[in-house]
Amino acid sequence: MEDETCETDSINEDILNAPLIEAEEPGKLELDSTGYFIIVPQPDKRTILAKHYSYDKELLRMIEGRDARSIYRTIIRYGWVSTLNHAAYLGQELTRAEIAMRVGFVYVQE
């Protein structure tokens, strides 16, 4: 019978050797110099609309897509966010909007 080494032994060893870092509480909100987004699910069209505004409340552009990933990748590709915090927030909110639309819940942006 061959020696059967279990892959989980290697994974468990990795876990034991990796440092565990405790997540920090969110600090003060830092505004993104590129502006802000209002996310609007459109269930009748099965799309999500992300409206990009300047801080002067000027509508700069609208990005429409069928899923969160296509919208946030477009926003990142064109540089319409300038901070990682804003990009992460948008990914989270767009995903929440997508899920809410798919299951029929009301989406409220945080």
Most distant CA pair in the chain, distance: 73
pLDDT tens track for 6-22: 555 666 777 788 888 99
* Residues contacting residue 30 through CB under 8 Å, at least 6 positions apart: 83, 85
pLDDT tens track for 7-61: 556 667 777 888 889 998 878 878 999 999 999 999 999 999 999 999 999 999 9
CB 57 within 8 A of CB 68: no
User: What is the dihedral sign for C-alpha 32, 57, 107, 100?
Assistant: negative
Stretch 51-73: mean pLDDT? 97
SS3 71: helix
Total-model pTM: 0.80
CB 98 within 8 A of CB 65: no
CB 49 within 8 A of CB 107: no
Residue 80 CB-density burial (10 A; 0-12 exposed, 13-18 middle, 19+ buried)? buried
